[in-house]
Every structure is written in C-alpha cells, then in structure tokens.
Chain A
Amino acid sequence: MKAICLTILIGFLFVLPLMAATDFYIQDVPWDEGKALNLLWDTDADSVLIQKADSAGVWQPIFLGNSTPSSYTDRDLVPNKTYRYRFTSIPMAVDSSFVTAEARPLEQWFYLHKLSYLLILLIISIAIVFYIQTARRGKDYFIRRISGLDSMEEAVGRATEKGKPILFVPGIGDLDDIQTIASLTILSHLAQKSAEYDTELIVPCRFSMVLSAAREVVREAYLKVGKPDAYKEDRIFYLTDDQFGYVAGIDGIMVREQPAANFFLGSFYAESLILAETGYNTGAIQTSGTAQASQLPFFVVSCDYTLIGEELFAASAYLSRDPQQLGSLKGHDFGKVLVIILIILGVITEMIGWHWFKIFFEGVQS
C-alpha cells in the first residue's frame, strides 16, 4: 500500500517569459515512519534554493545547491504535521520567481527500509528455535573449549584449599543490561560450586535490582546442591549506586578479606583496571569477562583469564551443558555464519557495482 501524501503547488507569483520553466512537487516518503518528505523539481536553472516555513511562518533556507539531482529529502519531521516549502530557481530571471507547496508526512504501518532487519531477526530466530528443538530430541551438539570458563573449577578449588572466600562482581550495569543477566547465569554455576566445596562467596552489588536477583540466584544454587543452610544472605550485599564509591568498596574488600579468586563478569567501564589491578596485587586468581570492547584490554593485561565479548554470553550453555542452551548457542553460531556470508556477498556485489545489496542493509540505519 503506497500512501502518498501530498500537495502540489499552491501558486506562482511572478512568472516571466524569460524565466526557466519550473515544476516543483512534494511526495511523502513511502513505507516509512512518517518523518520524511521528498521534494522534487524539474527546472532548467543551474541552482535551486528551497526554504521551509518555520512555526512563525518565516521562510528558512534548507537547501541551496545544484539543481541536479532534482530531489531533496527533508528528514526529522513530525508525522501528520503540514509543512510549507518555497522553491526558487537560481539564477532568477528579471524578477523574483518562486513556487510554494505544502505537504504532510504520513506514517505507514510497515517501514520498508527495515525489511533486512526483520529478515535477519526472523532467520536467526527460526534457526535458534530449530536447533533448540533438535537438541531437545536428543541431538548432542559440540561446543569448543573456552579456557576462561574451564578456570572456574580451578579458582574455586584454590579458594577452598586456602580457606579463603571467592569474590564475584556482577559489573556496574543494572538488571536491564544483558551483560548483567549473563553474569548472573554464571554466578548461579559458581554458587553451586562454592556450595559443593563449602567455600564462602562474596557478591557486592551496585543496584538494588541486581542485589535481589543475585540473592535469588545464589539461594537457588545452594538449594540445588542440597545445602540451603550454608547460604549466607548477608554476603550478597548492596554497596552504593555510585560508580567509584562501589569500586572503592570492592577494593577495600579485596585487600581486607583477601579472596583467593576474583570474578569480574558483566558490564564494566572506567573502573575495570582499578578493580583488576587491586585484585592482581592481592595475588588472587582472576577471571574477567565483559562485552565492553574498550575495557577488555585492561582485563586482558591484569587477569589470568578473560572472557571476550560473546564468550560471556556463551558461558551459561558451556557450563551447564544443558541441551536446550546448547541448541540456542548453535543457533547463535548459525547467525555468525550468516553474518560472514553476508559480508562476503556484500564485498563481492560492491566490487561488481551492484550497490542495491548494501543499500538494502544500510536502509535500517536511516
């Protein structure tokens, strides 16, 4: 359905015989969110000036340039609001000459420029559902070794041997951060291990929602291994919402409680090096993981093991070996292969001049 809003031409004011023939009209950009209008013209003049009436009715220039290509797209408009434009050919003839027109951008129910977005989401989602279903039916999927996660057992064992606690920092993101959620799934496995070995687990939290979720996760883990009495709620505690106040508090815990193993998993920002360096100085075995690309270098240099980006999200499936989660991970891997294929196709089509392929994917950004 192609909805076109528009209006053409309200009036010519001074038309002189010597003036170049001019046609100016406006079209609503089809299949969009109603925030853009296409201004089109047909003129013999070299240059054109387009003005738009502001809320006070004063003409403000929005385009001054070459008459070809004979179109201009006015973006960031308010849907359903009427806009007035004035078109002037340059050079003008003896007298001033302009054409005015008005139009209203309309929102459509489907944004065609986001079609690639929909297709990719659908394909990957279908793949994930398919692999989960096949995993449920008993198909065993292989998952390669991730050394950062293999270290978990070693770290817990070392803490048990030394009789010292384990420190788990779930990052400084709130519960709406996907990294924090991934971090809590790893906390669940770590809590099970610490419960099995009777090793104390310390979890300082920055946000109240994370605190509540962390307590639930750890309590569940202790219940799962049949040691609900060993669960100590006061070792999972709130510090402060302030970023550096939180870091100062954790630094204090590290130097005073001397945990034998530190886990920094989740969303981290400027505090990553402060935490990891303090932990390094205490001699603890350190495992870190984040999807913050700018913070990964600090973890790589100061921690024994680092989960890089996607490895953090794969952790839950890797640790649990749960067929359903392995199926989901297999679906993600399908998505990665799809990305590689699309990039290769995109490069080839760009080289042979078929730009439509790239535009199809670029359209999502506009």
Chain B
Amino acid sequence: MSNFMSIFGLWLSVFFTFSIFSFLYKDNPFYKLAEQIFVGLSAAYWLVYLFYSIMLPNLFTKLVHDFRGNIILLIPAALGIMMLLRIFPKTQWVSRFPIAIMIGTSAGINMVRYTKSDLLSQISATMINPFASSSPSIVMGNILLIIGTICGVYYFYFSKKQEGISAVPSKLGIWFLMISFGASFGYTVMARISLLIGRLEFLLKDWLHIIN
C-alpha cells in the first residue's frame, strides 16, 4: 500500500509539474486545476500549521498548564479575539485597535532596527581611507564605493529640484543603482536556474530514471 502511495504521489507530482509548466504556453484547464488545488491546499495547510505551531504551543498549552504564570498572554489572545469580531458587521470597528497596535509597534521596532542595520552599518562601512591600499584596482574600487554611496543617497533627496549642477550627483546615483541592479539581475537569474534544474532533475531522475 505504501509503495502504491509513493508511486501515486510521484505521478501526481509529475502531473502538477507539467500542469504548471503548461502556463508557459497559455492559460489552460490544467493550469487552472493545478493553481486552484495549490491555492486551496496551501491555505488549508497553513491554517492547520499556524494553529499547531503557534496558537497551540504559545497560547493554549501555556495557559492550560500555568495560567497564573502566563496571564500576560491574555493580552494577545484578546487582541486576536478583537480581530475575529470583524465577522460581525456591527463589531467590525473593534478590529481597528489590534491593527493600530500592530502597525504602531511594527513602525517603532523597525525604526530602531533599520537605523542600526541599514543606516549606521552603511555609514561606518563607507568611512574608509580610499588610498590605504597599494593596489590601484582596490584604490579605484574604494573611490567608486564612496562616490557611489554618496550619489546613491543623494538620488533619494526629494526636497530639491534636480537641475543644473545639483542634478549631476543624482544622475550619477541612478547610474550606480542601475549598474548594481544589472549585476544583481544576472546573479539572481543564475540562482533561479538552479530551481529549474531541480525540477528537471526530479523529472529525469525520480520519474524517468534517465539520469543517476
């Protein structure tokens, strides 16, 4: 029985792989079927997963085993219930409170986090002596790094009309950004090819046994 199920599962995977690939030609019933099953199945899966991996261990189990020690958990539980009150039209307004708390705390936490990770890290990483190395290529790289960072930041300066001399660093900034996007594009496409290789490997190895 288990052997039948594994073979059935394999053929099912192959069917859905081809159904998804068929979208490359055009939208068709096979793609529609695969899409609807994928969306429906994943929605159900995540509902069960979130209940068993978050709600149960982090809320229900803790409250049942040690209610007094975990009484603070009633706050997120109450916020969750307030969200559920959206179901009834008359109580929909209650859900605005948890949404406001979520947005406010997210903005506050992220402000502190990004100031450290994005702003200060970037500033200190750019504070370099460009002529510290004897290698001309490293010196050139350091100079480009400093100019690129400054011009890149200046491109996002919105309070001044960018014309005349003040447009120069901005234009340089967008050039630096576009060149970095080009490099990033090539790098990521290479990584995505590995996903395709993974699917082809499944078809040729696990299904057709053409390759070892």
Contacts and interface: CB of A to CB of B under 8 A. Distances in A.
Given A251-B23, A329-B158, A339-B123, A213 B43 contact: no
A183 B106 CA distance: 14
Contacts of B107: 178, 181
A248 B95 contact: no
B164 to A, nearest CB: 13
A120 B83 contact: no
A120 B124 contact: no
B159 interface: yes
A27 to B, nearest CB: 26
Given A144-B160, A213-B99, A329-B159, A252 B35 contact: yes
Nearest to B120: A364
Contacts of B181: 296-297, 300
A176 B106 contact: yes
B150 A344 contact: yes
Given A144-B159, A175-B106, A294-B184, A252 B123 contact: no
B129 A351 contact: yes
Interface residues of A, number: 69
Interface string A212-226: 110010000000000
B118 to A, nearest CB: 9
B30 interface: no
A120 B32 CA distance: 52
Given A241-B43, A357-B127, A362-B124, A314 B158 contact: yes
B123 A343 contact: yes
Interface stretch (A14-22, A79-87, A98-106, A303-311): A303-311
Interface in A307-348: 308-311, 314, 318, 329-330, 333, 336-337, 339-340, 342-344, 346-347
A216 B96 contact: yes
B146 interface: yes
A242 B49 CA distance: 11
A350 to B, nearest CB: 4
Interface string B88-130: 0000000110010011011101111011100111111011111
A249 interface: yes
A365 interface: yes
A116 B106 CA distance: 23
A13 interface: no
A129 interface: no
A117 interface: yes
B124 A361 contact: yes
- For B45, B156, B177, B182, which residue has the most chain A Cβ atoms within 10 angstroms? B156
A273 B180 CA distance: 17
B45 A242 contact: yes
Interface string B11-53: 0000000001001000100011011101111110111001000
B43 A242 contact: yes
Contact of A310 (B39, B146, B156, B180): B156
Given A120-B119, A212-B86, A330-B159, A340 B150 contact: yes
A333 B146 contact: no
A294 B40 CA distance: 29
Interface in A113-153: 116-117, 120-121, 141-144, 146
Contacts of A2: none
A282 to B, nearest CB: 10
A3 interface: no
Nearest to A254: B27
A180 to B, nearest CB: 9
A239 interface: yes
A251 B122 CA distance: 37
A93 interface: no
Interface of B: 20, 23, 27, 31-32, 34-36, 38-43, 45-47, 50, 83, 86, 95-96, 99, 102-103, 105-107, 109-112, 114-116, 119-124, 126-132, 146, 149-150, 153-154, 156-162, 177-178, 180-182, 184-185, 188, 192
12 contacts: A121-B111, A143-B159, A178-B106, A212-B95, A242-B43, A242-B46, A245-B42, A297-B182, A298-B185, A300-B178, A329-B159, A347-B128
